[in-house]
């Protein structure tokens, strides 16, 4: 049996409209990664806490849920166009979140 070629983790696709991004899961992370994230939670401000996602499709599903929550709160994030067994398809966004956050900092 032949092994299929490895697909890129993130790639852009265009089909009858604006570009969309296909994101596939990364490999499951090691226990060292989990320990590092637990340590960082005690050092970083709450808003910057790592998610603790272990990789794989669980991490992709968790990211899709967060994007939907942020979008509902009117934050400029990609829309989840599709969630499959092995990937998520996201819309592009004109605004980058870092630009929005820097705008908030300069107003304060």
pLDDT at res. 2:
46
CA gap 39, 3 in Å, rounded? 38
Q: What is the mean pLDDT of residues 1-7?
A: 52
- Structure confidence at residue 41 (pLDDT): 78
Spans of all domains in the chain: 10-107
Res 33: pLDDT: 74
Question: Which tens digit of pLDDT belongs to each residue from 22-37?
Answer: 888 877 777 787 788 7
Structure tokens at 76: 């400029």
pLDDT digits (tens, 9 = 90+) for 51-100: 666 678 888 898 899 899 988 998 888 899 999 998 999 987 655 555 65
Sign of CA dihedral 23, 24, 30, 31: positive
Quick count: other Cβ atoms within 10 Å of Cβ 84? Answer: 11
Q: Identify the pLDDT of residue 96.
A: 57
Task: Write down the pTM of the prediction.
Answer: 0.61
């Amino acid at each position: 049996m032949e092994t299929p070629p490895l697909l890129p983790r993130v790639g852009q696709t265009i089909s009858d409209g604006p570009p969309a991004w296909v994101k596939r899961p990364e490999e499951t992370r090691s226990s060292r990664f989990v320990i590092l994230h637990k340590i960082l939670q005690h050092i970083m401000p709450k808003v910057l806490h790592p998610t603790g996602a272990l990789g794989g499709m669980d991490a992709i599903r968790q990211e899709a849920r967060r994007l939907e929550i942020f979008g509902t709160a009117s934050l400029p994030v990609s829309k989840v166009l599709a969630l499959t067994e092995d990937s998520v398809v996201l819309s592009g966004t004109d605004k980058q979140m870092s630009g929005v956050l820097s705008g908030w900092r300069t107003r304060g």
